[in-house]
Amino acid sequence: MHRFYLPPADWNSASPALAATESHHALEVLRLTASDRVVVFDGQGGEATAQITALEGKTVRLKILQKTTTPSLACAITLAQAIPKGKNMDFIIQKAVELGASRIVPLISDRTIVQLDEGDAAKKLNKWQETALEACKQCGQNRIPEILPPRPPKAFFESGERFDLQLIASLQPDARKIKDVLAEHPAPLSVCVLVGPEGDFTPAELALAKSHGCQPVTLGPIILRTETAALYCLSVLAHELFV
């Protein structure tokens, strides 16, 4: 069945309506009709089978039939990703959803090519949130990861958030294998991994991260593009921590 997003505030309504964009997709793209059944999710773990009960102009109304809840994954993984150029951030967010990241923090590092003013940052954030939602609809993920506004690494560390384990992808000689670091921290409930831009974080940024408890990890003998590095980190962490 086709999947649609229904905000949590609408789940207790006797006849909830899909938002305009979701209704448009149901009516104009999928050509659904009254009595068709669909799946809705609330982005917080809730999922339900629903029946289309009415088509009011361009709005689809539903009746929720059966609700279920998807449990949280064993570990909450935060990806702090230096913003790459082009549309690569959209790609990273899409794959981060599929790999179970619970939060994504776009970083504006010293070597980040993309420079954003306040207006640009707001537009980018909105686009990234839309990308995450669409990825959830496609892959069956019922929890939409939180995407924070872009910020420099210093502001991220000064936010005061704490994790059971903090990692930073590094090309430096002191970087260790991820599996060796994880062996020293069994079953963490929260992990943050930082991935730098093309050209890596600067030595000052790496020193800052280490001063806040980040452990440098190597991603192998081959230098990876930043989007590949993000997928590598999330895939390894998902394999080791979600099973």
pLDDT per residue over 115-157, tens digit each?
A: 777 788 899 999 999 999 999 999 999 999 999 999 999 999 9
> Rounded to whole angstroms, how far apart are CA atoms 150 and 124?
9
Q: How is residue 20 annotated by DSSP? A: H
Query: What's the half-sphere exposure (Cβ side, CA atoms, 13 Å) at 112?
Result: 21
CATH assignment of 76-241, given 3.40.250.10, 3.40.50.300, 1.10.760.10, 3.40.1280.10?
Answer: 3.40.1280.10
Rounded percentage of the chain residues whose pLDDT exceeds 70: 100
> Rounded to whole angstroms, how far apart are CA atoms 59 and 6?
13
Mean pLDDT of 73-87: 95
Greatest pairwise CA separation for the chain in angstroms: 63
Question: Domain map of the chain by residue range?
Answer: 3-69, 76-241
- Give CA 227 to chain center in angstroms: 14
Cβ neighbour number for residue 186 with a 10 Å cutoff: 7
User: Is residue 21 over pLDDT 90?
Assistant: yes
Decide whether 3-69 matches 76-241 in CATH topology: no
pLDDT in tens, 93-108: 999 999 999 999 999 9
Q: Which residues contact 194 (CB under 8 A, 6 or more apart)?
A: 80, 81, 107, 153, 166, 167, 168, 169, 201, 209, 214
Q: pTM of the full predicted structure?
A: 0.93
Mean pLDDT of 210-215: 96
Could you tell me which CATH number the domain at 3-69 has? 2.40.240.20
Helix (H), strand (E) at residue 133? helix 118-139
First to last CA, the chain: 27
> Rounded to whole angstroms, how far apart are CA atoms 33 and 26?
8
